A and B are shown apart, each in its own frame.
Chain A
Amino acid sequence: QVQLVQSGAEVKNPGASVKVSCKASGYTFTGYYMHWVRQAPGQGLEWMGWINPNSGGTNYAQKFQGRVTMTRDTSISTVHMELSRLRSDDTAVYYCARGRGYSAYEPFDYWGQGTLVTVSS
């Protein structure tokens, strides 16, 4: 069965960077886009960008351009999301989510369990 398992919670100081991992299993890793979505406490969902695990190509939301980097390691079916220059308003649960088809425009049919990133001094 399809599973996305994310790395554990992080606490970071303002200005630091965080790297969240998402390990996929149960399907062909390179066949589906992977997206990252975040949710601040008590707030809605915010899309951050996608990575094509096959080519390594990425597309980031303009809001995060210059601060976010998405990478993949096909040997271990894992994608990573690194966010730099953290601010307090980056405190959120970060989710990886698989696109349901072969296009980056497909909705998200499987989600990781979420990783809480807390930014605080």
Chain B
Amino acid sequence: DIQMTQSPSSVSASVGDRVTITCRASQGISSWLAWYQQKPGKAPNLLIYAASSLQSGVPSRFSGSGSGTDFTLTISSLQPEDFATYYCQQANSFPITFGQGTRLEIK
């Protein structure tokens, strides 16, 4: 199975900050990488697919980059509604696997 490792596990930031979350795959996954946002008690929400493509309806302050084994999610200017947990997911091969999550908290 492909292991997905996110860093950091948690981060504190302020409204307006720029935040970057990293995801590393245990083997190359080309661009088969997606990012999700999850708020407490809610289902995850797809933000980015194919490593860098913005899902319809997602604000442009979210962006993704990377290929192979190293990927990043960047939020350019944090808004109050962005405080949540973020997960990366690989779909290069089965089983599909997720990172352990990064909790983004208000400083």
Contact = CB atoms under 8 A, between A and B. Distances in A.
Interface of B: 32, 34, 36, 38, 43-46, 49, 55, 87, 89, 91-92, 94-101
Nearest to B48: A107
Interface of A: 35, 44-47, 59, 61-63, 95, 97, 100, 104-109, 111-114
Nearest to B44: A111
A105 B94 CA distance: 8
B43 A105 contact: no
B98 A44 contact: yes
A94 to B, nearest CB: 11
B26 to A, nearest CB: 16
B46 A61 contact: no
A109 B46 contact: yes
The B interface, classified by DSSP as helix, strand, loop or mixed, is loop
B95 A113 contact: no
Contact of B43 (A47, A100, A107, A111): A111
Given A105-B32, A108-B46, A44 B101 contact: yes
Given A44-B87, A100-B46, A112-B43, A107 B34 contact: yes
B98 A108 contact: no
A47 B44 contact: no
B87 A107 contact: no
Nearest to B55: A109
28 contacts: A44-B87, A44-B98, A44-B100, A44-B101, A45-B38, A45-B87, A45-B98, A47-B95, A47-B96, A47-B97, A47-B98, A61-B94, A62-B95, A63-B95, A97-B43, A97-B44, A100-B46, A100-B55, A107-B34, A107-B49, A107-B89, A108-B34, A108-B36, A111-B44, A111-B45, A112-B43, A113-B43, A114-B43
